[in-house]
Structure 1
Amino acid sequence: MKKILPLALILLFISYLSAVTIQQKLVNDDNLNVGDRFQLQIYADVPLKSVVVPDTLTSFKIIEVEKKKEPSGKTWLQLTIVPILTGSLSFPKLQVIPEISDGQTYFTDAFRVIVIPVRAENDTTLVDIKPLAKYPLQLPIWVYYLLIAFIIVGIIYLILNRRNRGGKDSTVKETIPSSTSLDPPWKIALKQLDELLSQNLIQKGEYIRHHYELSLILRQFLERKYRFPAVEMTTSEIQQVAERLYIASSQEVLNFLKYCDKVKFAKYIPSQEEIEEYENWLRSWVQSFELVEAQQKLAHGGIEHA
């Protein structure tokens, strides 16, 4: 028994020497008011990892927990705390967790701070609030309500107007395109095609512009010949109209428009042979109407002669 007692004392002394020593320091804790911030700095002879904040903390609010590092590599903790009540407030002890756990539990010391009220407890006088400031040229409140009402009415009008226009656009417009020329549509289209080819846009590398003009020539011809606004319509819309009207070689017309769209919008660069193939098709398709017109004139002439 006499031998065990000295051994226990030695082990107790060694454990005391190996225990972590916790130190703490308060910063900016003088003359505190509600909402003022002060710091609790926690140091130890070993690197610190974190602290455990209890859920029962009601008189204070911990805004931030920062992990600081010294040049020597040792870490310590800084808590930014805000009091939310007045009077003599007691801050509880916090559990401190070292970087390397030795199985022991360590705590900071509880402390007390004085939070000074801004006004005396028996002061019940209400302080006048400063009147609301107005911006320069600020309008009366009823003007803003009126503007909001006008905006709402305008939005409703635009929505209803767009719906009405959408219903009208779904039907084919049977209006004759305005044209000052007395030439037949096929002749105007051939003249436009010759003028386009004379510009040599393909040789200049202007593929998009060339095919835009090709598509425009065909669309204007459709407007003059079949009397619907092809220039303002997409290829899909023209396809819907072609299903309702009889357009000569309608599928070839749609293929031509889709080819032009691919160059205009998909940045497709066709070969010279492909370009000439579609240009020749457009020319021959437009010229076919010249033959139809001549046959109609001969037929009407024969009837009149008879």
Structure 2
Amino acid sequence: MAKLIIVKHFILFFLLGFILAPIASFAQQQGEVKASVDTQSIRLGEQIQLRLSATMPPQGMDIVFPQIPDSFGHFEVVRRSQLDTTAAGNTKVLGQTIVLTSFDSGRWDIPALRFDLASGGNVTDSAFTAPLFIDVNTVSVDTTQAFKPIKGLRTVAWSFWDYWLYFAIGITVALIGIGLFVYLRSRPKKQAPVPVVAVVPPYEIALQQLQQLKAEKVWQQGDSKQYYTRLTDILRSYFENQFNIPALEQTTEELLQHIKPVTILNQQRDKLRALLSLADLAKFAKLMPSPEEHEGAMQHAQEIVEWTKPAANKAATADNGKEEIKQPAK
């Protein structure tokens, strides 16, 4: 019986040694790993600080901390700190703080967390922390107390400084609008450009009308009255526009009296008298002038206009005529 007990103890110690060998090996190489919390009881939504720590590994070795996901079990990670180093006697300790929270009531565990010891990028050993248990409690409600009514909305005192930016923007926009309105109202309006109409001198109009009358061959068609009526109307309109003489409203004698003050026109008095007299006979006495008289009347009319047009235009016409004479024949 005693021998059986000794054998059992021997086997038990052998198994314990086999199981604890990796831990002892890690402890010899690395030292202690630890996980702790600042509290084991919280209310829904409160936070826990999970502190992970491990002693510094020997030279040439690296310690790999557990990679905790953002959400695991009934816990969620709020934030993580960077690894920090603290001194504990003659050794240095690596540490990390992870803030957790939970929104599920009950007793929940933080499972064992694995630390790895690596050398040259290869894991050579591992160690686990002990699991931790956290009680997540609901908010206690005293059911013996009567339910209290929901509090009404509270009004906050109005303050100008809470809205000063909006006032500044509104005033700025209003000032810009007023400035634009005043500017647009006071800005001088652009006047539409007045189209420039080329003014044709009266003598050019008269000469063109005489040429047109000549081209229509009115007297050749047997209408002498119309021929002389249009011929004298062209001259009378020319006198009114060029010399301001009311020639269209005057008789032949009145017109001849009014041209006396106009020296240049009075110099053609004889031609004008002969032309007007012939025209009166053709229009009122039904005289039938000869073809030579018809052509002579047209020639006298053109000579009167050419003679009485402004001197500058006469000179320009004369120069143009000289240049045409000098040009060699092609």
Task: Settle same-fold status: TM greater than 0.5.
Answer: no
TM-score, reference length from structure 2: 0.33
Q: Pick the structure with greater CA Rg.
A: 2
